[in-house]
Amino acid sequence: MNNTELVDLISELAQEIDKESPIDFGMLEVDEDALWPMMAANVVEMFKFESVNDKLVMLATVTKLVVENFTLKAQMMQCADDNK
């Protein structure tokens, strides 16, 4: 599988996962269709998987992003509750 195919696959899978808990792009001026492949390309570039350590770094990065996402969603919900 070449890099372009890998980027397309990752982007597609991420968008499928997003359907479970969609990201609200409403307040942002971004092209969603371009954003997914661009971010997937960045991830592919960051993680070349040459060793077990590379996989550990990837898993640590994913964990950090999940915690960051949780925190941001909690803050957004808190703000929404405060504005009621």
CA angle 43-12-45, nearest 5°?
A: 15
Does 22 score more than 80 pLDDT?
yes
8 closest CA partner among 38, 29, 31: 38
What is the predicted pLDDT for the residue at 77? 85
Query: What is the model's pLDDT at position 12?
Result: 93
Is residue 72 pLDDT above 80, yes or no?
yes
> For residue 8, is pLDDT > 90?
yes
User: Over 90: is that where the pLDDT of 11 sits?
Assistant: yes
Instruction: Locate the domains of the chain by residue range.
Output: 1-46, 49-84
- How does DSSP assign 8-49, residue by residue? HHHHHHHHHHHTTS----TTS---HHHHHHHHHHHHHHH---
